[in-house]
Amino acid sequence: METVPARPASRLWLHLLLFALTVLTTYSAFSFYYGSGDLEQRHVHALAFSLSLMAILGSHEMGHYVLARLHKVDTSLPYFIPVPYVGVGTLGAVIRIRGRIPHRNALVDIGAAGPLAGLAVALPLLFWGLSHSQVVDAPSVEASFPGESSLWGLLRELYTWLMEQLTQAPPPPEPVFTGRIQTLFGDSLLMQGLTRLAVGPVPAGKDVLVHPVVIAGWFGLLVTLLNLLPVGQLDGGHLAFALWGPRARWVGKGVALVLLLLTVFATASWGVWLLVTSKLVGFGHPEVVDPQVPLSRGRKWVCALCLLALIGCAMPVPLRQVMS
């Protein structure tokens, strides 16, 4: 007689508790790092950011959940991950897939549903937020190559400091610092297109003072970018495996090489995602139950759409801070 493992009991209270805690931590993080104006304005802006970000993250995970259930794959509801006063207050959300994926078509459906559902919410929110943003005077900030926050740039600074200590040379004059640290968000093709559509061309010497909803949407694009990388069991990894089978491992290793180059020459923050993908996620992928079922033409078009989404969300330096 075959023994069927018992399904874990549903803990709806835990999902709701994590959701509520993540609303609180994202609200607090925005108020702490980005809040400005009077108390009422800070409250409204932080709440707008929190609810917008939760809508994007929630739709992403529910996209996975709904398609998994449609394919009769045992799946948990989303677990949101609250992180008090760090970053934007959350590490996103995850679902737990307890069953095996039946075939490659289902793998594409489940893998693509999350990023596409997240984008379907993020893009209208971005357009609305940009339409309610202001164009203000802003000094242009030049980008250097290699980037100042890249591993190359950090090692160059360390070398300069060591040489100063060894030679007892007087340090170079410190740049004038007004006490203001400006956070610059990377510009992806999607952000550039939406900004031009909602605001119009931004002339030199000007910049967009964005609405808090735009910041939430921007982080939604970043989450989409990270998940669509074709590595291991990331969403993009599911699609790569559906297309190429075990050969997708080499695609993932190629992406790891790109992340390494970005870490060295663009920004060292990519090193964190390089470690996550190569050490925690890995490059392998479990086989589907029935690998003989061919991938349909429609699913191949879905993969192509996700590739366009990956390109549209790509940004070599997502975040950097400059002193002015």
Q: pLDDT for 96-134, tens place per residue?
A: 998 999 999 999 999 999 999 999 999 999 999 999 998
Contact 91, 29 (CB under 8 A): no
Q: What is the CA radius of gyration of the chain?
A: 22
**Whole-Å CA distances, 44 to 50, 51, 72, 144, 220:** 10, 11, 41, 36, 20
Tens of pLDDT along the chain (324 residues)? 334 444 555 689 999 999 999 999 999 999 887 777 677 788 999 999 999 999 999 999 999 999 999 999 999 999 999 998 878 899 999 999 989 999 999 999 999 999 999 999 999 999 999 999 988 877 777 777 788 888 898 888 888 878 877 887 666 666 555 556 667 788 899 999 999 999 988 887 788 888 999 999 999 999 999 999 999 999 999 999 999 999 999 999 999 999 999 999 999 999 999 999 998 899 999 999 999 999 999 999 999 999 999 999 999 998 876 665
Phi, psi (rounded to 5 degrees) for 240: -65, -40
Contact 231, 255 (CB under 8 A): yes
- Residue 37 φ/ψ region, left for φ over 0, alpha for ψ in the -120 to 50 degree band, beta for the rest: left
Determine the residue type at 69: R
Helix, strand, coil shares of the chain, percent, nearest 5, are: 55, 10, 35
Which two structure tokens, joined as six digits, stand for 43? 């409250």
pTM, full prediction: 0.89
Which two structure tokens, joined as six digits, stand for 17? 């508790």
Residue with tokens 């709440």: 47
The contacts of residue 4 (CB under 8 Å, 6+ apart) are none
Query: For residues 238, 26, 47 and 208, what is the CA-based torsion angle, rounded to 10 degrees?
Result: -70
Contact 189, 312 (CB under 8 A): yes
